[in-house]
Amino acid sequence: MSFPERRLRRTRHSPAMRRLVRESHLVPSQLVLPMFVREGLSEPAPIGSMPGVVQHTLDSLRTAAVEAAEARIGGLMLFGVPATRDACGSGADAEDGILNVATRAVAAEVGDELVVQTDLCLDEFTDHGHCGVLDARGRVDNDQTLRRYEAMALAQARAGSQLLGLSGMMDGQTAAVRAALDAEGFTDTGILAYAAKYAGAFYGPFREAVDSQLTGDRRTYQLDPANGREGVREAVTDVAEGADVVMVKPALPYLDVLAEVRRAVDVPVWAYQVSGEYAMIHAAGANGWIDGRAAMFEALLGIRRAGADAILTYAAVDAAGWLREQL
Ligand code: PBG
């Protein structure tokens, strides 16, 4: 044979060689932990469908935030669960609203060690559970909702949030929030646009986590799972409107979108491994059907390989611990 035979396995023989040729890496600083804080709670409350995840009290949130900082993860994403709700979600921008109170506490505690981020959306605060306010016919009113997001953005920025997670999927939300922040001098507060957020079944456990009041679905504002190009269009639009980071969500069923978005924009691209993805891996692992830890790693690495610079995952602190064990 004149041609040298292609020996593709040569770079796989030893652990040292495999390590040297590895293309993707996972490090704790690329992980962001979503956390829930519930108003009026006296003890942390476990979330049945998400083993290991709880609704925090203000105190337990602060303690867990310190632990996350000690695990050297990259950031926290805070969600608030209010005691009372109304049609316009007034708890969202109230200074004493649970999310704003929690943000102030967490930012003061760990704001120099990791990036304190907040979910900017109305669904936890509205009595109908939609991500925006409704018009007379009961439909989500895009532009009235933007006014609410602007107020919420200012409240969160004042509370010390460093990066606002715009997850409501209203048109023009990034531009509206950017302008509102700049007008009040919050020019250093960043925007993480949940640019390509798909309407689907993987948010089930999250709805338990925030006691969601939603009865219908979010298909008039979140993306159709069938549409990849539309997800890229959303991301490109958000960058044009001033997003500092864009996100694809959920992660695992949308790796193609993630890869396309990565190619289409030059800002950081993140992915959200959502509650249903976490719950599936956890449940199968608990049943002994898969190795839960290995599967979690494989999923996170796959999300990185597809193009995510960072990942929001409920396993952030666990994964950071496992990564340290491997060193
Ligand atoms: C909206 C929001 C949702 C999630 C994050 N932000 C719920 C939804 O769109 O229904 C879901 C996150 C998860 O499932 O882990 N505020």
Taking only the tens place, the pLDDT of each residue in 278-313 is 999 999 999 999 999 999 999 999 999 999 999 999
Residues 6+ apart with CB under 8 A from 264: 232, 235, 236
Give the pLDDT score at 76. Answer: 98
Q: How far is the CA of 166 from the centre of ligand 1 (A)?
A: 11
215, 274, 278: residue to mutate for ligand 1 pocket, most atoms within 8 A of CB? 274
Question: Is the CB of residue 203 below 6 angstroms from any atom belonging to ligand 1?
Answer: yes
Catalytic residue among 38, 218, 249, 282: 249
Pair type for strands 45-46 and 54-56 = antiparallel
Tell me the one-letter amino acid at 124: E
Cα→Cα distances 163→56, 63, 127, 265, Å:
21, 21, 26, 19
Average pLDDT for residues 261-277, to the nearest whole number?
98
Q: Which option is the CATH number for 25-326: 3.40.50.2300, 3.20.20.70, 3.30.457.10, 1.10.8.50?
A: 3.20.20.70
Give the pLDDT score at 1. Answer: 57
Q: Distance between CA atoms of 10 and 200, rounded to whole angstroms?
A: 43
What residue's CA is closest to ligand 1, atom 12? 274
pTM as predicted: 0.97
Q: Distance between CA atoms of 60 and 75, rounded to whole angstroms?
A: 17
Range of lowest pLDDT (145-159, 204-218, 268-282): 204-218
Instruction: Find the Cα–Cα–Cα–Cα dihedral 269, 274, 280, 282, rounded to 10°.
Output: 90
Q: How far is the CA of 326 from the centre of ligand 1 (A)?
A: 32
Is residue 10 predicted with pLDDT exceeding 70? Answer: yes
Q: Exposed (0-12), middle (13-18) or buried (19+): which is 268, by Cβ within 10 Å?
A: middle
55, 79, 206: residue to mutate for ligand 1 pocket, most atoms within 8 A of CB? 206
Instruction: Give the position, in ligand 1's atom list, of the atom nearest the Cα of 199.
Output: 9
Q: How far is the CA of 162 from the centre of ligand 1 (A)?
A: 20
Catalytic residue among 197, 218, 262, 304: 197
Q: How far is the CA of 295 from the centre of ligand 1 (A)?
A: 23
Give the pLDDT score at 242. Answer: 98
273 a catalytic residue: no
Q: How far is the CA of 267 from the centre of ligand 1 (A)?
A: 22
Q: How confident is the model at residue 141 (pLDDT cuts 50, 70, 90)?
A: very high
Q: How confident is the model at residue 51 (pLDDT cuts 50, 70, 90)?
A: very high
Is residue 66 predicted with pLDDT exceeding 80? Answer: yes
Can you list the alpha helix ranges (DSSP code H) found in the chain?
Answer: 15-20, 58-70, 98-110, 142-159, 173-183, 204-209, 229-241, 255-264, 275-286, 292-306, 316-326
What's CA 223's distance to the chain center, in Å?
16
What residue's CA is closest to ligand 1, atom 9? 203
In contact, 206 and 178? CB cutoff 8 Å:
no
Range of lowest pLDDT (214-218, 229-233, 285-289): 214-218
Nearest to 164 by CA among 143, 194, 141: 194
Question: Is the CB of residue 123 below 6 angstroms from any atom belonging to ligand 1?
Answer: yes
Average pLDDT value over all residues in the chain: 96
Residue with the larger pLDDT of the pair 208 and 308: 308
Q: Distance between CA atoms of 163 and 115, rounded to whole angstroms?
A: 7
Give the pLDDT score at 215. Answer: 87
What residue's CA is closest to ligand 1, atom 2? 167
In contact, 142 and 172? CB cutoff 8 Å:
yes
96 a catalytic residue: no
Per-residue tokens: 122: 């109305």
What residue's CA is closest to ligand 1, atom 6? 167
Per-residue tokens: 38: 């519930």
